[in-house]
Amino acid sequence: MQNRMDVAILRRETQTSGLAFRLLIKEPLVVILPVNHRLAKHKTIRPQELARESFIAGSTKLAPVLRSTVKEYAAKVGITLNQKYDAENISGGMSLVASTGSVTLLPLYVTNMLVPSVVARPLQGEPPTIDLMMGYNKSNTSPLLMRLLSRADELVDRVSQKQRSLQS
């Protein structure tokens, strides 16, 4: 909004006057838990299991989209999360998971940053997702930005196809 950058990769926030967004991917949330946790031996985790655990939520100030996505998911599957801690960032969340034995839900990309003392497990059923967006100022007419926007869908499709082929 201050014209210091052309584009940003971010989560869509509600107060975004003047910004335009392009969806890049709907990223599933996964359960992050200590490597020695009783649920870590499972390949997937039932949502109801989360209600029995101490839960680490994302910060209201720094991760409002993640926090609201988790809250909506809990309501949808009919569970109440036993929130004990707030994490200010991903590394803080993983540290809290390891030190307190609690669990949290984070976007799938964090599996690339796991410390040895924590593991990630998918949820059973349809997991909650969080949108990863490309955001830009609507009034920006930069030719480079226009070119990126015109190619964004093609680039996202190419990455998605590559991910599907790796999972097969």
Cα 147 → chain centroid? 27
Tell me the sheet residues that pair with 34.
118
- Residue 125's contacts (CB-CB under 8 Å, 6 or more residues apart) are 47, 77
Helices (H), the chain: 47-50, 64-77, 90-100, 143-167
Q: Which amino acid is at 48?
A: Q
Is the pTM higher than 0.75? The answer reads yes
Alpha-carbon gap, residue 16 to 22, rounded angstroms: 13
Question: For 162, phi and psi rounded to 5 degrees?
Answer: -65, -40
Residue 51: strand pairing partners: none
- DSSP 3-state of 112: helix
Domain map (residue ranges) of the chain: 1-168
Q: Which CATH architecture has domain 1-168?
A: 3-Layer(aba) Sandwich (3.40)
Those residues whose C-beta lies under 8 Å from the C-beta of residue 77, and which sit 6 or more positions away, are 47, 48, 125
Residue 126 corresponds to which tokens in the numbers above? Answer: 């349809």
pLDDT tens digits, the chain, 168 residues: what are they?
677 778 888 887 666 778 888 888 889 999 999 999 999 999 999 999 999 999 999 877 778 888 899 999 999 999 999 999 988 888 888 999 999 999 999 999 999 999 999 999 999 999 999 998 898 888 888 899 888 888 888 887 887 776 666 555
Alpha carbons within 13 A on the beta-carbon side of 168: 6
d(C-alpha 39, C-alpha 50), whole Å = 10
Instruction: Read off the tokens for 150.
Output: 């015109």
